[in-house]
Structure 1
Amino acid sequence: MADRRVDVWIGATLTLTALALVYFGIMHRPVVGMADNGDFLRVMKTAGFDYASDGLTYEAKYFDYAILQYRNAPLGFGGYASTHLLFLFVAKAANALLHPGGLFHITTLGALYAACFAAAIVLIYTGLQASRATRLAVAAPLVAVYTDVAYAAYYHSFYGEPVSLIGFLLAIGCGLHAARAPERSRLWAYFAAVVLFMGAKSQNFAVGLVFSALLLALGRAAAEPRTRRLALALSAAVLLLTAAFYAAAPKELKKINLYQTVFYGVLKHSDDVPADLRELGLPAELAPLAGTNFFEAGTAIPQTSPALDALFYDRIGHLDVALYYAKHPRKLLDRFERAADDASTIRPYYLGSYSKEEGRGPGAVHLEGAWWSEGKKAHMPRSVYAALAVAALYTALLASRRVAALTGLRAHGALYGAPFIAAIAYVTPLLGDGDADLAKHLFLYNVAFDFMAVCAAGLAAACLARLAAAAAMRLYRRPSAGQVGGGRP
């Protein structure tokens, strides 16, 4: 009972600390957010939001300034299906209670994200089966790292990145609880967290493969037949939802991604464009488009031209690109190394952090409270091999019997998903969107990488503390020179 009370107090402290850091990081004056790069419209119409003013200039609406207030509008029927919408609907309802008849304040959405983030951290702390010191050595740094302003600034936006962050942490936390006591209710909670995570953004769909395997492992380990059958059924359901989410992605979005993948990815770095076009099964007349992006004006063939359907969109898919790279692994490795320049950047620096009313310069970026993100950007080696080294260290610590003996770590299968999620999050933008906006598209990779780095550091610190305490105890118990031999000469 006393141990449970201590954990309650620690959980409350983690929650209050997380909320306080988010509040003072982005909600206390000046209010910090993130400017729209054009993606907001994917969800604004569906969730019933509109710009507060009809006379906004292009610069005020996009890139330069964060918009903190929006006009409520009737719910629409957008073509972008995402679990991100759930948060927008809840925030809109809460805002109606807090600001009846008024504008929608983006800080309402930010507060909802902050509360869910704090709950996810507590889930991880309480779900991790290890000594209390080890759990705290993992959970407390997670609070510090994920409240960095580069992460928190996304809370005041209509981007789906906060849902990726929260969904990732909730899935880890629920997975730990399901392994701790494989009950049916916990398996359903795990499944719900996984669906929330994989449905947040189109690039998250593939992580369903990881969680399907983790659920399968849980099912095989379950002793109770009904629980085992449920875990296996949920594992299959995750696979089906992976395919369903991909199929539900808007056709226009798939076209954009495909164009970027080929012309702003494969062909952008090609040494022989005609040869690569032939290998991809595409006509040579597309060569002038090499190196262009979907949103670029004045291309030889307009990106939305019906002629491009027959020449390009109807003749190739992402599987063809994957097969191309399978034949040319050296080119894929070169792409990975190029992407490493952006892999340590949590947020894009071309998006302003302040509202226009703050009077800051266009595109000004808030750097206070960016200790982790700026440190990574400045000191993280620009190489994919550095990331592989962190993943290898993390996995080795999880698998080590010595670490388990020192920390009490057990039933932690959910943690093994992080390296695979990081790998998927690194590869998917390159194969699914070319070089377009990598600093933003590698957000989930940063989430998973930072999780591995923090957990590895926490486990190592817990081991060292345990070894130091044992050594100190041995010194304390060692008899002094005068006591050796006992009795008189």
Structure 2
Amino acid sequence: MNQTGAGLMLRRFLAFMARYVSPAGFAAGTALLITFIALFTPPYIGMADNGDFFRVLYSNGLYFHLPDYDSQYLGYFIKEFGILQYYNENVAIYYSSQSLLIQLALALNKLFVSTVIFDVRVQSAILTLLFIVAIYLLVESLTWKMKPLYGYIIAVLAVFMFADTAYTAFFNSFFSESIVLIMVILTFASGLLLYRRRYNDYAMVAVLAISGLLLTTSKQQNAPVGIILAATCLFLLLIRKEKKFKVIMFSTLSLLFFSGIATYALIPKEFVNINQYHAMTRGILLGSDDPERALEKMGVNKQYAILKNSIYYEPFTTVDVNSHILEKYFYSQYGFGEILGYYVSHPKQAISMLDLAAKNAFTIRPPAMGNYEKEEGKSFGQQTMFFSGYSLLKKALAPKTFGFIVIWIAVVTGVYMPSFVTAIQRRDFRNALRFPFIFSMILMGLSGIFVSIIGAGDADLSKHEFLFTVTFDLVTFVVISDAIRRRLWQRDSRLDSEPE
């Protein structure tokens, strides 16, 4: 077959596809198929517990009902949990939007599955549906009115990157990363859809507000997200002149801002101590050549240098981490501001910690947790390779230095800044929206790194930096997509002809 014939067949195939399924629909359908095979057909793929599940289980009326559960920590995925049958005396250890998801899944489980045993796949089904909607909106925001060939290339790229089981395995677990993934995509997609004036503005603002709120309140370290999104929403006040729209937008940004403040304020004292302990022992002391002097500079007794490299959860410790002595002479002597100030005054050590963070910033699947059930006969901690091409490629090829992250930010900013400046000069605020939303993703990702280091040192970095790895992938995906559709430097002129 000659090239002319092949080209004709390709055009006919694309025309056929475009008639019956859009690139967004294709991406959503393909992602659904892959995720269904991974999570809902044997061997079931999920995430093993690393000890964090108890934080959300008991307060939501669930418990560990397997007698050998403790022996399966880190190694094996467990899909069934007991449902408390009587009064639940357990109070919430911390406040999280994740509880809303668990309560919905629990209600559906009792209605359709069992009132005694909770199957985590019920929760996974809810997350999968939300994930498919998120993928659809993301791809639609980039491929709307695009030539079919380019649109389907972007759709395939979206599936390759975001339907990777390193991401979707979180759905079959009680880790809040599943909510973070979906809500970040929905937040970004709604912003891009507002930029392109696709769908009703009020509907997209509602998606932005709800997803941003759920994202901010999903875990304590996401507190800065609400403030970043609130600042981004200031641009949205300018895209329409109606008073009603401005009132709604101001209410939205206020809600996001105060949700960030509240998320930080409601961090339980126990978690504050855990994070403070690791911020010192696995952060400042870890990277210091003279830990005694580092402590003295922060007004802490130098004898606590003996805690260097220690973990809060160690069964045998030099001193009781919950003791009154540590509370009075250690925890009370420093906080977030003092730790930040130390790193600012010790840039060499700060850069060293940032490089350490960068080594974990491109790993989607935490290396410690297995993905299979014990009865599958897999080795302890074995992880799936099913549809994991992107996560493996990213882990292997991404430069592991903070310098690369800085270069990446500079390139992205340089690519999108010209069209942003032009749009501002023209007072075309709708066309100016793209860069603020892209930059807000970058800031959210950086907040994940900085909060992890300042708040907990190198403790469980690969999991704490999940927000960065998601935002990095989203921004990189949009850059590649805009390059494919030739919209990197140009504003979208098609918006000019469309009325508000």
TM-score interval, smaller chain: 0.7 to 0.9
Structure-to-structure mapping, 1:436-447, within 5 angstroms:
436-447=459-470
Secondary structure at the counterpart of residue 350 of structure 1: coil
**8 Å contact from structure 2 (residues 47, 170) kept in 1:** yes
Deviation at 1:186, TM superposition (A): 3.6
Match of 2:182 among 161, 166, 169: 166
Separation of aligned partners in 2, 1:104 and 1:397: 48
Separation of aligned partners in 1, 2:56 and 2:114: 22
Secondary structure at the counterpart of residue 155 of structure 1: helix
**8 Å contact from structure 1 (residues 153, 353) kept in 2:** yes
**8 Å contact from structure 1 (residues 127, 173) kept in 2:** yes
Match of 2:365 among 327, 344, 347: 347
Task: Give the aligned partner of residue 354 of structure 2.
Answer: 336
Structure-to-structure mapping, 1:84-483, within 5 angstroms:
84-128=98-142, 131-133=145-147, 137-180=153-196, 183-401=201-419, 411-412=433-434, 413-463=436-486
Separation of aligned partners in 2, 1:128 and 1:189: 17
Deviation at 1:113, TM superposition (A): 1.1
Structure-to-structure mapping, 1:17-32, within 5 angstroms:
17-32=30-45
Match of 2:81 among 25, 50, 70: 70
Deviation at 1:234, TM superposition (A): 2.5
**8 Å contact from structure 1 (residues 129, 180) kept in 2:** no
**8 Å contact from structure 2 (residues 24, 143) kept in 1:** no
**8 Å contact from structure 2 (residues 183, 214) kept in 1:** yes
Per-residue CA shift, 1:150-195, capped at 9, x if unaligned?
1111111100000010110111122234445584454333211110
Which region of structure 1 is more displaced relative to structure 2, 186-195 or 127-136?
127-136
Separation of aligned partners in 2, 1:356 and 1:173: 38
Paired positions, count: 459
Quote the RMSD (CA, aligned, Å).
Answer: 2.8
Separation of aligned partners in 2, 1:135 and 1:266: 48
Give me the TM-score of the superposition, normalised by structure 1.
Answer: 0.87
Deviation at 1:98, TM superposition (A): 2.8
Per-residue CA shift, 1:117-175, capped at 9, x if unaligned?
11112222334586424665545422321111111111111000000101101111222
| Amino acid paired to 1:444 | L
Return the index of the structure with the highest Cα Rg. Answer: 1
| Amino acid paired to 1:317 | G
| Amino acid paired to 1:59 | S
| Amino acid paired to 1:188 | A
**8 Å contact from structure 2 (residues 419, 432) kept in 1:** no
**8 Å contact from structure 1 (residues 148, 373) kept in 2:** yes
Deviation at 1:91, TM superposition (A): 1.4
Per-residue CA shift, 1:365-423, capped at 9, x if unaligned?
11222111111121111111222233333333333549x99xx9874242332111121
Q: CA separation of 1:48/1:13 partners in 2, compared to 1, >3 Å: closer, same or farther? A: same
Task: Give the aligned partner of residue 50 of structure 2.
Answer: 37
